[in-house]
């Protein structure tokens, strides 16, 4: 068995989403032998702990194990060359066209869900005027400053956190014009010691204003997740968000429908308070993946108020919906990264 034999074996391993084998797709970076029974393989996989890429890696191990070879795997996708956040694999923006659709709730649970899978995660609350992520994760520590005047973010639930809420008083409003917002956001992006992250989740404010433009122009975004509720008013505003990302050539990973169905804790019945199927239809009309629907459930509100993301509750159906969402978002990030090779 030599290197070319191993490469030929790997042609039987398919990427389930790109529809070809990993050799033809140039997903095999290198093959290096340690001894006659152990080989080190570097794969161009860019979405750590995503279900699809985990399955690809497992299939590589199984394929070689059938031939009596132990495969030691590593993953590396060439970086974008951006000087901003060079040690962050994937920057994912979570957006909504309007407020009140639960975008921050989705951001927090998405980030916590990825961290719970084992990924290295940061959560950046970019809502300058209404930052509430620290409350939603019960973060009582504040950032520390280094001698070089960089910022060391606090951590909670395995996530590194940054928010404007850490920088102002609890009840102090932020009354700034656009240039000041741009300056502060740029500092919070570039002066924070995020370290090596698999995912940085950015909770954008609602709408299409200065903050969003700063993020799109400054950060090397892998893609965005658009959050809506089923009702038409929310869909109309979400459409504006899609147009914003399109004009800045930012991939949209997919659509998430929040508050899709109310599950009554007393009668057990389900009620479509905000309508039904709007988010899924919106995704279909725009030829975008539908990442999942999150029920309207009191436990989600309670988890946000108490600083305990519901995604971490392994016995919760709603937590399960958020865990599925986390996996779907990671899968889509991986598709984007692999398509860029």
Which residue, 181, 95, 174, 93, is CA-closest to 131? Answer: 174
Q: Are residues 153 and 37 in the same domain?
A: no
User: Which residue positions form the known binding site?
Assistant: 97-104
Q: Are residues 305 and 284 in the same domain?
A: yes
Question: Rounded distance, CA 123 to CA 176, Å?
Answer: 23
User: Which residue positions form the known binding site for ATP?
Assistant: 97-104
Q: Are residues 120 and 36 in the same domain?
A: no
Question: Rounded distance, CA 341 to CA 337, Å?
Answer: 7
Question: Of the ranges 63-67, 93-97, 175-179, which one carries the lowest mean pLDDT score?
Answer: 175-179
288-340: per-residue pLDDT in tens? Answer: 999 999 998 888 989 999 999 999 999 999 999 999 999 999 999 999 999 98
Q: Are residues 53 and 132 in the same domain?
A: no
114-145: per-residue pLDDT in tens? Answer: 999 999 999 999 887 778 888 999 998 888 88
Q: What dihedral do alpha carbons 310, 314, 315, 318 form, nearest 10°? A: 40
Please, what's the largest Cα pairwise distance for the chain? 68
Q: Are residues 260 and 315 in the same domain?
A: yes
138 vs 93, 143, 179, CA distance in Å?
22, 14, 31
Q: What is the CATH number of the domain that holds 58?
A: 3.30.300.130
Residues in the chain: 341
Instruction: Reply yes or no on whether the pLDDT at 79 is more than 60.
Output: yes
Q: Which of 41, 75, 109 is the last residue of a domain?
A: 75
Structural domain containing residue 59: 3-75
Task: Please report whether residue 59 resides in a domain.
Answer: yes
Q: Are residues 261 and 332 in the same domain?
A: yes
């Amino acid at each position: 068995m030599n290197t070319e034999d191993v490469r030929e074996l790997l042609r039987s391993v398919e990427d389930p989403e790109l529809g070809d084998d990993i050799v033809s797709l140039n997903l095999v970076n290198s093959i290096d032998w340690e001894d006659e029974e152990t080989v080190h393989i570097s794969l161009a996989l860019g979405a750590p702990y995503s279900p699809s890429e985990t399955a690809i890696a497992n299939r590589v191990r199984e394929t070689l194990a059938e031939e009596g070879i132990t495969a030691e795997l590593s993953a590396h996708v060439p970086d974008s060359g951006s000087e901003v956040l060079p040690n962050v694999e994937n920057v994912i923006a979570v957006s909504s066209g309007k407020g009140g659709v639960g975008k921050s709730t989705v951001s927090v649970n998405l980030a916590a869900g990825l961290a719970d899978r084992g990924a290295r995660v940061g959560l950046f609350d970019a809502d300058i005027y209404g930052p509430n992520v620290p409350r939603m994760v019960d973060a009582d520590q504040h950032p520390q400053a280094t001698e070089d005047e960089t910022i060391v973010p606090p951590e909670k639930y395995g996530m590194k956190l940054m928010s404007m809420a850490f920088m102002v008083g609890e009840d102090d409003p932020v009354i700034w014009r656009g240039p000041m917002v741009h300056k502060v956001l740029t500092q919070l992006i570039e002066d924070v010691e995020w370290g090596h992250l698999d995912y940085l989740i950015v909770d954008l404010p609602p709408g299409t204003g200065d903050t969003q433009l700063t993020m799109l122009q400054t950060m090397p975004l892998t893609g965005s997740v658009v959050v809506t509720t089923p009702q038409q008013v929310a869909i109309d505003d979400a459409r504006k968000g899609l147009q914003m990302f399109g004009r800045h050539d930012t991939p949209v990973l997919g659509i998430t429908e929040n508050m899709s169905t109310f599950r009554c804790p007393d009668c057990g019945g389900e009620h479509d308070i905000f309508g039904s199927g709007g988010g899924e239809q919106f995704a279909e009309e725009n030829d975008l993946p539908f990442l999942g629907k999150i029920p309207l459930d009191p436990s989600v509100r309670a988890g946000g108020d108490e600083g305990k993301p519901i995604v971490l509750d392994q016995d919760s159906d709603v937590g399960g919906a958020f865990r599925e969402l986390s996996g779907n978002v990671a899968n889509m990030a991986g598709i984007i990264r692999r398509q860029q090779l």
